[in-house]
A and B are shown apart, each in its own frame.
Chain A
Amino acid sequence: MEHPLLSVQHVSKNYGAVEALKDVSFALTRGEVVGLVGDNGAGKSTLVKCIAGVLRPSDGEIHLEGTRHEFATPADALAAGVETVYQDLALVEMFDLTANLFLGRELIRSGWLAPFGLLRKREMEVAARNAVAQLPARFPDLDAPIDTMSGGQRQVVAISKAAFWGRRLLLLDEPTAALGVQESAGVLEMVSHTATRGDMAILVIAHNLEHIFSVCTRVLVLRRGSLVADVKVGETTPEDIVGYITGAR
């Protein structure tokens, strides 16, 4: 049997006496879009950070395609094909789209100039334009610093960057949190579009259950650090989910 893309096994995270995550286990397969919901402080961000290599779990294991991984730094996770879009986007406002796309992974010339890390600017720009052309979104000026873009546009930039590099797993932390109705729709469309590639699994944290239900096929519910529900979207309702979140169920 093929290994699941992501297998989280009995992961716990403690901060001293505080148990942020308690024995969380679940699996994701390729092509899935899975929602992660829970009340504030339930442990959603903590879980994502553990998978993204920002935090180290106190206990438990994380497997990607059958192989155990221990991420010491975010760079390790990136190298393993795990891309994360954080709540504050972690984009450099002063950079344009191309520079942001390639941040930390710039294309450089080989040969005798290699140690200097000479940038291959033209190639990066071309690659960025190509990537953007594939997207459902439109950007009026690709050369502008992303400062000049709206919140929704920036979110799309961040997600497209993750989609560009991601090979296995995409983690999205509250992608629609600060956006209005229209912009959220655009972002969700972006997520669906990425999922149709079929090569990655996507985990989406959100508070808005409508958003979750519109793009996800499965929902995980965290409550006080424990996984209290793992249900298919087709087999449940938003009311049920609320019940899981609050503990009524």
Chain B
Amino acid sequence: MSREGGAPAGSDAVRGASLKGTPWRDIVLTPTTARIAALIAVCVFFSIASPFFLKSSNLLNVMVNTVVVGIVAAPLTLLLVARQVDLSVGSGVALAATTLAVVLEMGYGMGVAVAAAMGAAMLVVVVNAIAITKFRVNSIIATLGTLVAFRGLAKLEGSGRNIRVDHFDFLGRTRINILGLEVPLAVLILLAVLAFFWFLMSQTRYGRHMYGMGANPKAALLAGIKLERNVVIGFLLTGLAVGLAALISVSQIGAVAPTTGQGLELLAITGIILGGASLGGGRGTIPGIIVAILILAVLDNGLTLARVTSFWQEVVRGGILIGAVALDQARLARGKPDVRFEL
């Protein structure tokens, strides 16, 4: 039975808050626009502070500096949206990179070494996934554990040495000429990874299920969504990204050290939370974290160009993390949602 025109008596009751008449402020001053404005502001500031900032080579460098963090931050966003975290990514990078170096040292070819490195990254994933799904350990605790354990394993594997890796320049040092710009291959790889995760999170059923799982796990379960399977897939994707990030990192630096990748998870999570993901799950988009990671990279780059002392740089970065988390907490406490959950 369909109804036309005015609703009968009683149905007025279900008419509630309407978005008509929402002040324009609330639509324009969203966190998204605030982030973009911040990025623009920071760029403007540094273009004034240093004549080198706006050079195309510098801007490309800024993007190069986001590659390793960005590749790792993308799957972390997916996980965080589903209310999971993986804090072990830095150690995963270390293990994969060390494996690559050690296998090469042993005399094996590049193909074998790369395969072994990816295998090492997946090993971390398997342990994480088992701990979280089989043993029901909270993902923060589980991946904190693997962060420590696999860092130790990497150090064992490399005997605590700094290991040179030669002849592995391709991923990290190749530049491709596009429209007159020498674009680093690594940046193109990053863009591909970001595009993949954007697509996955916003256009597929899997992505939507991950949002649902993070926003209301009970509802997701009752709707027949397979929580465990989806989380495992998320971790698998993280493992692939970690392996790829390790390969690029080694290629960029030409060496592996016991400290390789240390601090990566902190940087990635700063970027993700600044980019709109919430520790409570259900929120966060790839475009959001792209802007956030760019803000952080521009800050690093700009402060170095302007020759600001490094300790100040750390203060700024730490302050941003605190600010971003505080905003996130405030938003959670108010219960105020972003207007749309996906861009």
Contact = CB atoms under 8 A, between A and B. Distances in A.
A and B, direct touch (CB closer than 8 Å): yes
Interface of A: 54, 73-75, 78, 84, 86, 88-96, 99, 103-106, 108, 116-119, 133-138, 140-141, 143-145, 147-150, 152-153, 155-156, 180-189, 193, 196
A103 B337 contact: no
Contacts of B335: 147
Interface string B1-26: 11100011011111111111000000
Contact of B7 (A88, A89, A136, A143): A136
Given A74-B224, A145-B337, A186-B13, A138 B215 contact: no
A116 B16 contact: no
B282 interface: yes
- Give the residue among A89, A137, A143, A180 with the most B Cβ atoms within 10 A: A137
Given A136-B7, A140-B18, A90 B223 contact: yes
Interface stretch (B138-146, B177-185, B202-210, B309-317): B202-210
B283 A94 contact: yes
Contact of A94 (B2, B8, B15, B211): B211
B212 interface: yes
B221 interface: yes
Contact of A117 (B11, B13, B19, B204): B204
B137 to A, nearest CB: 23
A196 B2 CA distance: 12
Interface in B291-343: 335, 337-341
A119 B211 CA distance: 14
A197 to B, nearest CB: 8
B23 to A, nearest CB: 14
8 smallest beta-carbon distances between A and B, as pairs: A150-B16, A104-B223, A117-B205, A182-B13, A75-B224, A140-B18, A186-B13, A90-B219
A90 B222 contact: yes
B337 A138 contact: no
Given A147-B337, A186-B10, A196-B1, A91 B224 contact: no
Contact of A92 (B2, B20, B215): B215
Given A92-B212, A95-B212, A144-B19, A183 B14 contact: yes
Given A140-B20, A145-B340, 11 more contacts: A90-B223, A91-B216, A93-B216, A93-B337, A95-B215, A116-B206, A117-B204, A143-B340, A150-B17, A153-B14, A189-B10
Contacts of B282: 92, 94
Contact of B20 (A90, A93, A141, A188): A141
27 contacts: A90-B222, A91-B216, A92-B215, A94-B282, A94-B341, A103-B212, A103-B220, A104-B212, A104-B223, A104-B225, A108-B204, A117-B204, A118-B204, A119-B208, A134-B1, A136-B10, A137-B11, A144-B19, A150-B16, A150-B17, A152-B14, A152-B16, A153-B14, A181-B13, A182-B12, A186-B10, A189-B11
A51 B105 CA distance: 63
